[in-house]
Amino acid sequence: MTPRIEGLIEEGEAFNRLRETTQRKRIGVIVIGAGQAGLSVGYHLKKLGLEFIVIDANARIGDSWRQRWDSLRLFTPNRFNGLDGMPFPGPRYAYPTKDEMADYLESYAAHYELPVLHGVRVNRLWREDNRYLVDAGSHHFEADHVVVAMASYQGRKVPALAKELSPEIVQLHSCEYKSPSQLRPGGVLIVGTANSGAEIAMETAPTHPTWIAGRDVGSMPFNIKNFWVQRVVLPMLFRVVFHRILTVGTPMGRKVRGKMISAGLPRIRQRRTELDSVGVRWVDKVTGVKDGRPQLADGRSLDVPNVIWCTGYDPGLSWIDLPIFEENGEPRQTSGLVENEPGLYFVGQHFQHSVSSTMIHGVGRDAAYIVRTIDKRRARRAVVVDPSSRSLEASRAPAA
């Protein structure tokens, strides 16, 4: 065999080894999602010195916030918007913009040097034996533990009748709406009376006749900007009621959870009187289409050139190829742990453990719990693989 042929064979073998490494990279823990949930998980994993990587479909940390409508501000003041280990900058009682939140998340990841792989969208997650496999385009991973760190608000949910509306009508889902400049001159029908619908209605009403359709979900019985509300009511609401009372571990919490999963929270910022004051008109729910126009339950049709669907979100988890879902698409999990899947976890889901699970000030507790569980399960697995005295000592950690 000539030196040239030997060289080509060696180069080919090296290429095959590289290709195999690229196709199947083994990581101890894979975190899917680099929003506040994923970064919180990353913080606690790094704190324990565990091997992990965070993968995210966006080009930049915080993009899921940057892509929302231009005028959006958080419902919580700065004092409640910091993740574990890093307070949110600025005045304690100011309400930050979406871009300020995005920039904070980006600085948080940089400060703790969290390993985030950007622009990687997961196509499939499945299990073979005791390993989880992740197909993400040109990236392929395997791991003992996978944390799906994503909120429940991923895919746009729009009723089927939307397809029957006239093509002349501008239709936007709330996740696509940016500002009134996207709208045609004339009226706007906003379908959905919860937080997104109310926020957008307040913005469109000054320049477009605005109708809001659907059952009134109600609102908080106080103004969140009030001095005493900010200093007394909100801490009690966020830290005690939402965080410790309304949880899956209390009878009251379990009762409320069922209602909130289907109906969501009442409006936090806008009360009905405020919407009325800017000219928003309330109408019955949309039940059909007549002559290409939205038809209401009372039989009326609205001749509007714009419809904004504030009708909720799909969980967006169809890429998980495992039998873990309820009929409504929600994952079957208890406080982030999935029965019969000892290496799969969730963080950031709607009412995962409590009302605060999907809120910035509550996601850190859930993340810490999941990471502690991962660490304990790793220790138990070490006993099976290497039954040395050191491993046996590690196995004495209390059960999750």
Any idea which of 46-60, 135-149, 326-340 has the lowest mean pLDDT? 326-340
Which residue among 282, 312, 342 closes a domain?
A: 312
C-alpha span between 362 and 152 (Å, rounded): 15
Based on the fold, state whether residues 296 and 323 are members of the same structural domain.
no
Q: How many CA atoms lie within 13 A of 351 on its CB side?
A: 22
399 falls within a domain: no
Query: Confidence class of residue 67 from pLDDT cuts 50, 70 and 90?
Result: very high
Range among 23-37, 100-114, 154-168 rated most confident: 100-114
Q: What is the pLDDT, as a whole number, of residue 19? A: 40
Q: Judge whether 73 and 200 are in contact, CB under 8 Å.
A: no
Based on the fold, state whether residues 296 and 357 are members of the same structural domain.
no
pLDDT at 7 over 70: no
3-class SS of residue 150? coil
The pair of structure tokens assigned to 328 is 């409504």
Q: Judge whether 195 and 183 are in contact, CB under 8 Å.
A: no
Q: Judge whether 287 and 215 are in contact, CB under 8 Å.
A: no
Determine the residue type at 381: R
Q: Judge whether 185 and 169 are in contact, CB under 8 Å.
A: no
254 falls within a domain: no
17 falls within a domain: yes
Per-residue DSSP letters for 13-52? HHHHHHHHHHH-EEEEEEEE--SHHHHHHHHHHHHTT--E
What's the first-to-final CA gap in the chain, in angstroms? Answer: 60
319 falls within a domain: yes
Based on the fold, state whether residues 148 and 26 are members of the same structural domain.
yes
pLDDT at 55 over 80: yes
3-class SS of residue 329? coil
Q: What is the pLDDT, as a whole number, of residue 261? A: 76
Based on the fold, state whether residues 304 and 183 are members of the same structural domain.
yes
Q: Which residue has the higher pLDDT, 316 or 9?
A: 316
pLDDT at 79 over 90: yes
pLDDT at 9 over 50: no
76 falls within a domain: yes
C-alpha span between 173 and 206 (Å, rounded): 20
C-alpha span between 76 and 339 (Å, rounded): 33
Based on the fold, state whether residues 347 and 278 are members of the same structural domain.
no
Any idea which of 93-107, 154-168, 284-298, 362-376 has the lowest mean pLDDT? 154-168
Which residue among 296, 312, 328 closes a domain?
A: 312
Based on the fold, state whether residues 116 and 170 are members of the same structural domain.
no
Q: Which residue has the higher pLDDT, 43 or 137?
A: 43
3-class SS of residue 186? coil
Q: What is the pLDDT, as a whole number, of residue 119? A: 95
Instruction: Supply the range of the domain harboring residue 351.
Output: 3-154+315-394
What are φ and ψ of residue 63, in 5° steps?
Answer: -65, -30
What are φ and ψ of residue 202, in 5° steps?
Answer: -60, -30
3-class SS of residue 221? coil
Based on the fold, state whether residues 319 and 307 are members of the same structural domain.
no
Q: Fill in the DSSP letter of residue 196.
A: H
Q: What are the pLDDT digits (tens) for 337-381? A: 999 999 999 999 989 999 999 999 999 999 999 999 999 999 887
pLDDT at 72 over 50: yes
Q: Tell me the pTM.
A: 0.87
Based on the fold, state whether residues 210 and 323 are members of the same structural domain.
no
Which residue among 312, 328, 345 closes a domain?
A: 312
pLDDT at 13 over 80: no
Instruction: Label residues 36-52 b or e (16+ Cβ within 10 Å = b).
Output: bbbbbbbbbbbeeebeb
3-class SS of residue 258? helix
Q: How many CA atoms lie within 13 A of 317 on its CB side?
A: 27
245 falls within a domain: no
Q: Which residue has the higher pLDDT, 385 or 217?
A: 217
Query: For the range 227-230, what are the long-range contacts, defined as Cβ-Cβ under 8 Å and sequence gap of 24 or more?
Result: 230/77, 230/93
Q: How many domains does the chain have?
A: 2
Based on the fold, state whether residues 305 and 325 are members of the same structural domain.
no
CATH number of the domain to which 370 belongs: 3.50.50.60
323 falls within a domain: yes
Based on the fold, state whether residues 129 and 163 are members of the same structural domain.
no
259 falls within a domain: no
C-alpha span between 335 and 317 (Å, rounded): 17
Task: State what percent of residues in the chain have pLDDT above 70.
Answer: 89
Based on the fold, state whether residues 15 and 91 are members of the same structural domain.
yes
Average pLDDT along the chain? 89
Q: Which residue has the higher pLDDT, 327 or 169?
A: 169
Based on the fold, state whether residues 352 and 380 are members of the same structural domain.
yes
Any idea which of 298-307, 325-334, 339-348 has the lowest mean pLDDT? 325-334
pLDDT at 113 over 60: yes
